[in-house]
């Protein structure tokens, strides 16, 4: 494939310009044939772009199983959730491939709406109904169920499956918890579970739950604070999104370089160094190019690339870059746990090699039980990597670049 021009960005990008990730897309496609999926990963790994591309490809290539991406980041309550789903579904319906009638939704709506409210005729992009009426405040479960049931009853090819990608679903729940809507969170999780069970039988709908806050974080909080005992996602697989392949990372650099950059040293050597320095993490590749533009007049040399990494790791004004690794811990874990996490990360960041569990236990000031359980969490959250050698467990930062940053800025 020939590289195409893309400007370095750390925000959204046109879906047809999103680079690579085809192997990941096929993996996820295979998973969704069998069931639902949870993808939780630290921020800025490329989850959203990957899933947007996934949805785009399934539709563009007219695959038997298609997916729709929903952004739930700003959804502030349960009725808004149904409306957000309806809004996006209506857009896809307009594109012709999604053949859904919304009969259950309309029936429920007509039954409960006040008589003076007229059903709008809708436009191609706007749904005919909105459940944001006071009448639906207590009926949100029925509204959401109707919406999902309508989807399940859509006209579909024989064994076609529709995947609903709920991006930032755990984050949305977390915001609800912070806004004292815990009861809604619990009821929504229960509703989803029963819906998924009944729909699974019909084999027509799957979910991909994605977000930078792990679903585990939300569930653990509910368990410890609200005695929540259900396992709403115990039947879903989890998927770990890794850094880009060498091929994808190289291609991304080639595309970015077309935005007015000049190679002073050998092009392939420079690209290799950029990818190696940031371990093929696409966000940090974009960041490197941004710095090369602002600090080196878009001149790419081996020395400028090294300087860019230095700036990336030490610039205290650009909080968005790494600071999230730290703030995320304080925001989502109780202090008793976050203190242990920070202690372990501080310790591991100044080690040159992977450390054995016993060494870690000796070096931090917490009980073995606490440390062991937190080590598990840090691995699940992708901060750390665990290897087993001669029956001993060893831990180190998963990405060297995060370790360097932690050592320079936190430890």
Contact residues for ligand ATP, defined by CB under 6 A: 9-11, 18-21, 43-49, 212, 252, 282-283, 286
The distance of closest approach from Cβ of residue 252 to ligand ATP in the complex, given in angstroms and rounded to an integer, is: 5
- Could you tell me the two tokens for 242? 């890794």
CA-to-CA distance for 3 and 255, rounded, in angstroms? Answer: 5
Least distance to ligand ATP, CB of residue 21, Å: 5
Q: Looking at the chain, how many residues does it have? A: 411
Q: Which is nearer to ligand ATP, 325 or 384 (CB)?
A: 325
**What gap in Å lies between CA 372 and CA 377, rounded to an integer?**
9
Which residues have CB under 8 Å from 276's CB, separation 6+? none
Q: Considering the complex, state which of residue 48 and residue 277 has its C-beta at the smaller distance from Mg ion.
A: 48
Neighbours of 389 (CB within 10 A): 9
Q: Which residue is nearest to ligand ATP (CB)?
A: 46
Binding site for Mg ion (CB under 5 A): 48
Question: And the tokens for 169?
Answer: 């679903």
What is residue 185's three-state secondary structure? helix
Of residues 164 and 255, the one with the C-beta less far from ligand ATP? 255
Specify whether the CB–CB gap between 326 and 405 falls below 8 A: no
Q: How many CB atoms lie within 10 A of CB 342?
A: 19
Strand order in the sheet with 237-238: 66-71, 162-167, 205-211, 37-40, 237-238
Provide the 10 A C-beta neighbour count for residue 387.
10
> Which CB, 56 or 263, lies closer to Mg ion?
56
Least CB distance to ligand ATP at residue 258 (A): 13
Residue 283 interface partner, choices Mg ion, ligand ATP, none, CB cut-off 5-8 Å depending on type: ligand ATP
Residue nearer to Mg ion on the CB measure, 48 or 145: 48
Query: Which listed option, ligand ATP, Mg ion, none, makes contact with residue 45 (CB within 5 to 8 Å by class)?
Result: ligand ATP
Q: What DSSP line would sit under 274-328, residue for residue?
A: HHHHTTT-HHHHHHHHHHHHHHHTTEE-HHHHHHHHHHHHH-TT-TTTTHHHHHH
Residue 49 Cβ, how far from Mg ion at the closest point, in Å? Answer: 8
- The CB-of-196 to ligand ATP minimum distance in angstroms stands at 23
Residue facing Mg ion at closest CB distance: 48
Interaction partner, residue 19 (Mg ion, ligand ATP, none; CB < 5-8 Å by kind): ligand ATP
- Binds 286, which of Mg ion, ligand ATP, none (CB < 5 to 8 A, cut-off by type)? ligand ATP
Q: Out of ligand ATP, Mg ion, none, which partner does residue 145 contact, by CB within 5 to 8 A per kind?
A: none
232 binding partner (options Mg ion, ligand ATP, none; Cβ < 5 to 8 Å by kind): none
Distant-in-sequence, close-in-space partners of 333: CB < 8 Å, separation ≥ 6: 217, 341, 377
Q: Which of 262, 284, 261, 196 is nearest to 233 (CA)?
A: 196
Instruction: Please report how close the Cβ of residue 168 comes to ligand ATP at its closest, in angstroms.
Output: 7
Which of ligand ATP, Mg ion, none is residue 410 near (CB under 5 to 8 Å by kind)? none
Task: Give least dist CB 137 to ligand ATP, A.
Answer: 30
CB of 281 to ligand ATP, least distance (A): 8
By a kind-dependent CB cut-off of 5 to 8 A, residue 46 interacts, out of Mg ion, ligand ATP, none, with ligand ATP
Separation CA 247–CA 282 (nearest Å): 12
């Amino acid at each position: 494939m020939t590289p195409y021009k893309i400007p370095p960005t750390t925000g959204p990008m046109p879906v047809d310009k999103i680079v690579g990730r085809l192997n990941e897309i096929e993996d996820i496609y295979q998973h969704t044939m069998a069931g639902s999926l949870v993808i939780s990963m630290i921020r800025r790994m490329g989850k959203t772009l990957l899933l947007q591309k996934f949805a785009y490809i399934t539709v563009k290539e007219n695959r038997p199983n298609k997916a729709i991406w929903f952004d739930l980041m700003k959804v502030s309550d349960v009725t808004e959730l149904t409306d957000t789903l309806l809004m996006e579904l209506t857009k896809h319906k307009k594109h012709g491939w999604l053949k859904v009638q919304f009969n259950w939704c309309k029936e429920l709506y007509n039954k409960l709406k006040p008589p003076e409210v007229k059903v709008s005729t809708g436009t191609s992009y706007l749904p005919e109904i909105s459940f944001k009426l006071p009448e639906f405040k207590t009926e949100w479960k029925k509204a959401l169920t109707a919406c999902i049931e309508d989807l399940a009853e859509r006209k579909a090819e024989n064994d076609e499956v529709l995947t609903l990608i709920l991006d930032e679903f755990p984050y949305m729940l977390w915001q609800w918890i912070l806004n004292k809507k815990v009861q809604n969170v619990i009821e929504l999780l229960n509703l989803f579970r029963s819906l998924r069970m009944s729909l699974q039988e019909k084999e027509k709908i799957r979910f991909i739950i994605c977000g930078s806050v792990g679903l585990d974080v939300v569930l653990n909080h509910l368990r410890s604070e609200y005695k929540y005992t259900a396992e709403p996602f115990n039947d879903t697989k989890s998927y770990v999104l890794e850094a880009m392949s060498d091929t994808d990372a190289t291609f991304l650099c080639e595309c970015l370089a077309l935005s007015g950059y000049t190679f002073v040293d050998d092009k392939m050597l420079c690209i290799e160094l950029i990818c190696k320095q940031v371990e093929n993490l696409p966000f940090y590749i974009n960041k490197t190019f941004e710095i090369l533009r602002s600090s080196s007049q878009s001149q790419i040399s081996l020395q400028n690339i090294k300087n860019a990494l230095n700036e990336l790791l030490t610039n205290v004004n650009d909080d968005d870059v790494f600071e999230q690794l730290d703030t995320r811990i304080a925001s989502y874990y109780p202090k008793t746990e976050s203190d242990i996490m920070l202690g372990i990360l501080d310790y591991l960041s100044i080690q040159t090699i992977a450390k054995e569990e016993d060494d870690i236990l000796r070096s931090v000031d917490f009980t073995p039980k606490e440390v062991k359980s937190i080590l598990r969490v840090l691995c699940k959250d992708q901060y750390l990597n665990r290897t087993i050698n001669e029956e001993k467990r060893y831990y180190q930062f998963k990405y060297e670049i995060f370790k360097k940053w932690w050592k320079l800025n936190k430890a």
